[in-house]
Amino acid sequence: MRKKRHIPRKKKGKRPHRGQKPKFNKQQSRDDSLKFEVLSLLYTSEQALQGKEILNQLDLPLSSTKPLHNLLLELTKSKILKQLDNDRYGPGSKHRLAEGTLDQNAKGFGFVTNLTSRFQSPEYSKDAFLSPANMNSARHGDTVLVRIFKVKKDGRPEAEVLSVLHRGTEQLAGFVTFKSGQTLVYPEDFRFPFTVRIPGKRDEKLEEGDAVIVKIDGETNDFRHQNGTLIKILGNPDSVDVQMQLVIEKHSLPHIFSDATLEQVQNITDNIAPGTGRLDLRDIQHITIDGETAKDFDDAIAVQKTRKGFRLYVSIADVSHYVPPGSPLDKEAYLRGTSIYFPGRVIPMLPERLSNGLCSLVPDQDRYAFTAILDFNRAGHLLAKEFGKSIICSKKRFTYTTVKEILIDKDTKVRKEHKDFLTPLKWASELATELMQLREKRGSIGFTIPEPFMELDDQGKIKSIRRTERNFAHKLIEEFMLAANEAVAETFTENKLDGLYRIHERPSPEKIQEFVEFGRSLGLDLPPLRQDPDWFGQVIDLVKGSPKEYVINNLLLRAMQQARYDGKNVGHFGLAATDYTHFTSPIRRYPDLTVHRTLQTFLTRNDNVRTRKKESNSTKEMGTFLSARERVAVTAEREMNDRLKIRFMHTKIGEIFPAVISGVTGSVIFIELLDLFVSGGISLSSLKDDHYIYDAKHHRLTGKHSGRSFQIGEPITVGLLDVDLRRNRLYFSPVETMKTET
């Protein structure tokens, strides 16, 4: 009889198909668990450990002594660990242990970002990929310890989670549903691919679809379900306030001031009087110019005609007078980093008593300010600059609309009502025009991306969406703020101060080349490529007024680097400025507050600012942190706007809209509604009139039989097919297709 051939069993099982629950051999699962625990312990331990110390610290039974010993030998042999003197073990040359933040996808896989290591900096240019099978018990936002077990040819590392070092969140926002007598909550953020079960009797206040906040209780091996506790019922998600709470929860936005901060603000005196070292500028005819709905006025301006040209006063609310460094108020303002503005709502950086009260430059009331006094010649060139703490009294609160009616429309009635201000407004107009021309001449990029204005009704729902008007009055104030910001930054540079700059680095050549190839694929006759801001301005002028204007402006903007805060000055590419900072909005931006403090320290010479190199690291860290807070705020504001737009569109299914194609892929045509600034998509599966072929090189889809094409940048008329409130998505169809189906 022929002997059976023995085929050794492979140690690793087959990789599960997508969506299939991974299966593990029980012995293998126990071995992996012990390995993960040992590696996690040695990574987090401050020193190398002996085998018996590992056994004790992991609280393992004596029966685990031999398996642990064998594991340590195996890991040492593979150089994941190394054996030191006295039989101590530590990470070896091939440990490949790293920690980072888990960014999980709704489909279950994820990436570990910002990889670092206690033992050596991992040299990985890309984030580490995690398959669902290698996720362990980690959730989106967690700080995880991983081991890199593979690096692909493109440099992308693959990893497995060894342990969760820190939970990113224990609270989630979601929507309630009732099923089989259970109360279930589906997380609103799809990056948490599980449901939360709320045990016990159903809360009588809860209704199907309500938005709630839940706390996740403990750990579970069931990756599809978690147990939780109901923390708060938010209510109907159609409400703007409920949507605001959902955004706050999703982005972990600090929004409630501490008792210590409120007590500090309550104890601030409201007495405002001239003092030593403070310029008395109450006789200067300061005015504020803001939008109709503005509540905090942090900048006032005044312009005088001189023999040589103009004198500009830019007076900014003296927030630093009320916010001592290191105080509870200061620490909380730093953690927020910036105010966050939603339609009809705001999460302020400072409590209302300051933001809308003592620091708001309201008319006919004395206010403390920090003033930049700038002298220009008639052509707008800066001749001299002076800065100082001041006391001012704004003479008038203007709106952009009123100033436009005075300067541009020459409205007789409006001009008569404000005759005392006509001459200084005329001077302001002349100076702003000269500054604008100089800035354009040096190559400052003038992106033309319209912004929406959302009007809310009494119930907090969007009543209308319209294009934000941007007139000459907006540009006038913008020029004066830019001039003040540049003058302060120049002072930092000239005196080698350790200050916080607003920098905007040159775009990478690769990004620009990508844009050039894209532009040529659309048939644009681009000017010869140059690595300077003026080239961007020429491209913008090339498409101005055409259907491609919106898309080209957006794509150019994406090709740019993000502006950020840093202690090292590399200039501002977009403004074509060698020196730039943020000085003009300390009520709503913490970087401006730090700039005020640095400038005041220099002016009063309270310490030797030229020897403050020791603080350069803290300035860099501050710039990194505050830049990150700014990005969080921008993301939250955009998301809130998108949420409200989706609900606004829910009542408009079947309506027709003019749009522009903003993107094309092999499965979706992305569009932007021209009048409502709403984004959506046309699924190729909904186009039944033809089979469309994707041309990636020319960013278009072409019908195989009809020859009809959809290309990025082209106008299109669409109808709204459906609205997915859960996923915040809009589905459209070309009007011709809708008619055919009808």
Q: For 162-177, what is the mean pLDDT?
A: 91
Confidence of residue 12 (pLDDT cuts 50, 70, 90): very low
Q: For 384-398, what is the mean pLDDT?
A: 97
pLDDT, residue 169, reads 86
Q: Which two tokens stand for residue 741?
A: 């189906």
Q: Which two tokens stand for residue 676?
A: 């409502």
By the 10 Å C-beta count (0-12 exposed, 13-18 middle, 19+ buried), 490 is classed as: middle
Q: Which two tokens stand for residue 554?
A: 């957006």
pLDDT, residue 467, reads 82
What is the 3-state secondary structure of 310-361?
Answer: EEEEEEEECHHHCCCCCCHHHHHHHHHCECEEECCEEECCCCHHHHHHHCCC
Q: Is the pLDDT of residue 306 over 60?
A: yes
Confidence of residue 316 (pLDDT cuts 50, 70, 90): very high
Domain map (residue ranges) of the chain: 26-91, 97-166, 171-235, 262-467, 489-640, 653-741
pLDDT, residue 424, reads 97
C-alpha distance from residue 99 to each of 44, 45, 166, 495, 529 (Å):
11, 14, 10, 41, 42
By the 10 Å C-beta count (0-12 exposed, 13-18 middle, 19+ buried), 499 is classed as: buried
Residue with tokens 């110390």: 53
Buried b (16+ CB within 10 A) or exposed e, 362-395: beeeebbbbbbbbbbeeebebeebebbbbbbbbb
Helix axes 616-649, 240-250, angle to 10 degrees: 140
pLDDT, residue 522, reads 81
Confidence of residue 309 (pLDDT cuts 50, 70, 90): very high
The torsion angles phi and psi of 255, rounded to 5 degrees, stand at -140, -5
Q: Where are any strands of DSSP class E within 613-737? A: 656-664, 668-673, 679-683, 692-695, 700-703, 709-711, 715-724, 729-734
Contacts of 57 (CB under 8 A, 6+ apart): 41, 45, 49
Q: How many Å apart are CA 609 and CA 496, to the nearest integer?
A: 8
The torsion angles phi and psi of 101, rounded to 5 degrees, stand at -105, 130
By the 10 Å C-beta count (0-12 exposed, 13-18 middle, 19+ buried), 268 is classed as: middle
Q: Which of 126, 141, 135, 123 is nearest to 159 (CA)?
A: 135
Contacts 24+ apart (CB under 8 A), 152-155: 154/126, 155/124, 155/125, 155/126
Q: Is the pLDDT of residue 330 over 50?
A: yes
What is the torsion angle, in degrees rounded to the nearest 10, for the CA atoms of residue 545, residue 551, residue 553 and residue 557? 180
* pLDDT tens track for 696-710: 888 889 999 888 999
Q: Is the pLDDT of residue 213 over 50?
A: yes
pLDDT, residue 28, reads 41
Q: For 542-557, what is the mean pLDDT?
A: 86
| Least confident span in 8-22, 205-219, 502-516, 636-650 | 8-22
Determine the Cα angle at 286 with ends 285 and 287, to 5°: 120
Contacts of 407 (CB under 8 A, 6+ apart): 425, 426, 429, 472, 473, 476
By the 10 Å C-beta count (0-12 exposed, 13-18 middle, 19+ buried), 140 is classed as: buried
Q: For 502-528, what is the mean pLDDT?
A: 89
Q: Which two tokens stand for residue 372?
A: 């930049």
Residue 182: how many CB atoms within 10 A of its CB?
A: 12
Q: For 256-281, what is the mean pLDDT?
A: 94
Q: Is the pLDDT of residue 66 over 60?
A: yes
Residue 570: how many CB atoms within 10 A of its CB?
A: 12
Question: What's the CATH architecture for 171-235?
Answer: Beta Barrel (2.40)
**Which of 451 and 397 is assigned the larger pLDDT?**
397
The torsion angles phi and psi of 362, rounded to 5 degrees, stand at -70, 155
Q: Which two tokens stand for residue 581?
A: 């900072």
* pLDDT tens track for 610-646: 434 444 458 999 999 999 999 999 999 999 999 999 9
Q: Is the pLDDT of residue 609 over 70?
A: no
pLDDT, residue 20, reads 38
Domain 26-91, classified CATH 3.40.50.800, yes or no? no
Chain mean pLDDT for the chain: 88
The torsion angles phi and psi of 44, rounded to 5 degrees, stand at -85, -15
Confidence of residue 23 (pLDDT cuts 50, 70, 90): very low
Q: Which two tokens stand for residue 374?
A: 């700038």
| N- to C-terminal Cα separation, the chain | 75
SS3 27: helix
Q: Which two tokens stand for residue 398?
A: 């203007």
* pLDDT tens track for 71-127: 999 999 989 898 988 889 988 888 888 899 999 988 889 999 988 887 766 667 789
Q: Is the pTM of this model over 0.75?
A: yes
pLDDT, residue 31, reads 56
pLDDT, residue 111, reads 94
C-alpha distance from residue 497 to each of 569, 587, 592 (Å):
11, 23, 15
The torsion angles phi and psi of 112, rounded to 5 degrees, stand at -100, 115
Same fold, 171-235 and 653-741: yes
Instruction: Please give the helix or strand (H or E) that residue 287 lies within, else none.
Output: strand 287-290
Q: Which two tokens stand for residue 203?
A: 């809360």
pLDDT, residue 669, reads 95
Amino acid, single-letter form, for residue 35: K
Q: Tell me the pairing of strands 668-673 and 656-664.
A: antiparallel
Q: How many Å apart are CA 505 and CA 568, to the nearest integer?
A: 11
Contacts of 533 (CB under 8 A, 6+ apart): 443, 444, 445, 573, 574, 575, 576
Q: How many Å apart are CA 189 and CA 689, to the nearest integer?
A: 36
SS3 279: strand
pLDDT, residue 626, reads 97
* pLDDT tens track for 470-480: 899 999 999 99
pLDDT, residue 121, reads 60
The alpha-carbon radius of gyration of the chain (Å, integer) is 31
Q: Tell me the pairing of strands 279-280 and 225-235.
A: unpaired
Q: For 131-140, what is the mean pLDDT?
A: 89
pLDDT, residue 22, reads 37
What is the 3-state secondary structure of 123-175?
Answer: CCCCCEEECHHHCCCCCCCCEEEEEEEEECCCCCEEEEEEEEEECCCCEEEEE
pLDDT exceeding 90 applies to what percent of the chain?
A: 59
**Which of 581 and 517 is assigned the larger pLDDT?**
581
CA atoms within 13 A on the CB side of 729: 10
Domain 653-741 class in CATH: mainly beta
Q: For 293-303, what is the mean pLDDT?
A: 92
Q: Is the pLDDT of residue 607 over 70?
A: no
Q: Is the pLDDT of residue 582 over 80?
A: yes
DSSP, residue by residue, 470-501? --HHHHHHHHHHHHHHHHHHHHHHHTT----E
Fold of 97-166: OB fold (Dihydrolipoamide Acetyltransferase, E2P) (2.40.50)
* pLDDT tens track for 419-461: 999 999 999 999 999 999 999 999 999 887 778 888 888 877 7
SS3 551: helix
* pLDDT tens track for 336-375: 999 999 998 999 999 999 999 999 999 999 999 999 999 9
Q: How many Å apart are CA 431 and CA 423, to the nearest integer?
A: 13
Residue 464: how many CB atoms within 10 A of its CB?
A: 12
Q: For 136, left (φ over 0), alpha (ψ -120 to 50), or beta?
A: left
The torsion angles phi and psi of 659, rounded to 5 degrees, stand at -150, 175
Q: Which two tokens stand for residue 72?
A: 């340590």
> What size, in residues, is the chain?
742
Whether residue 41 contacts residue 57, with contact meaning beta carbons closer than 8 Å, is answered with yes
pLDDT, residue 122, reads 62
| Least confident span in 158-162, 287-291, 563-567, 616-620 | 616-620
